[in-house]
Amino acid sequence: MARVRDWLDTLSSAGVFNGSVLIAKEGRILLEGHCGFADTEGQVPLGESASFSLASVSKPFTGLAIMLLVHRARLGLDDVLARHIPELADYPGVTVRHLLHHTSGLPDHMWLADRYWDPGVTLTTADMIGLFVTHRPPARFAPGDRFEYSNTGYVLLSEIIARASGRPFVDFMAEEIFAPLGMNDSAAYNLTCPVCTLQCRATGMRRRFGCFGRRVASDMNYLDGVFGDGGIHASARDLLRWDAALREGTLIPTDAYEQAYTSGRLNNGTAIDYGFGWEIRPRHVVEHLGEWEGFATCCAGT
């Protein structure tokens, strides 16, 4: 761990790393480091309460929320999409399971937005669904035939969570996951939220000229009006609390959640390296990476 800490110190001193790192084993922290600042002006040092946009590391949280509702019999993994979002009945055969596994065949909403949406207006989930209803882009393949990473699928999962629970996605995550686990530095937050309740939300940033130049904000854009594929903010300490809850079955029995760590299968029986929001790796490792605007994230465990 000393070598890792030295490496982080070197990167921080060189100005090429600004963020938090936490490594733990069986709940015991082996290394924790917070390098740099939460703001572009360099006035707010990063600490253990600093919350970062998780980008696509939000997807395991979306998967957990779906599993909670399945466990409570509020929805089924093989429910068709139109059962929960009838506006999308033009995409028959797509199930919740397909959305979780990135095998739905639905086209990418970012392409639709780039073509049909005003980038000066924040795109919400309702707006995204409206683009599909209005323009009816064809499916890329039959549900279950291929794996194709899909942010769209996870945005739709967040809407299914909201409709099945009868609560906005932001409230469901706060009341059913963050508050029960004591994740006080975590929230679902994007441009549709009137205020940010996080104590210290790190601003996304980049160097003006690659690794050089002054820091400039690179935080959110017009696509940051949807949830599910991203939008979760959390501190490193809160991710450790979340990991402990998954291991101990605090929110959902471990045997019920095991499906999240299990590789999905295509229609022809081929296994894919993806579960319910988790990338499945050799040696019983699961992880997810994220990158969006001024953030890059990774969460991995065994």
Which positions are catalytic?
Answer: 56
Long-range contacts of 176-179 (CB under 8 A, 24+ apart): 176/65, 176/68, 176/251, 177/61, 177/64, 177/65, 177/68, 177/242, 177/251, 178/238
Cα separation, 69 vs 211, in Å, equals 44
Task: Let me know how long the chain is.
Answer: 302
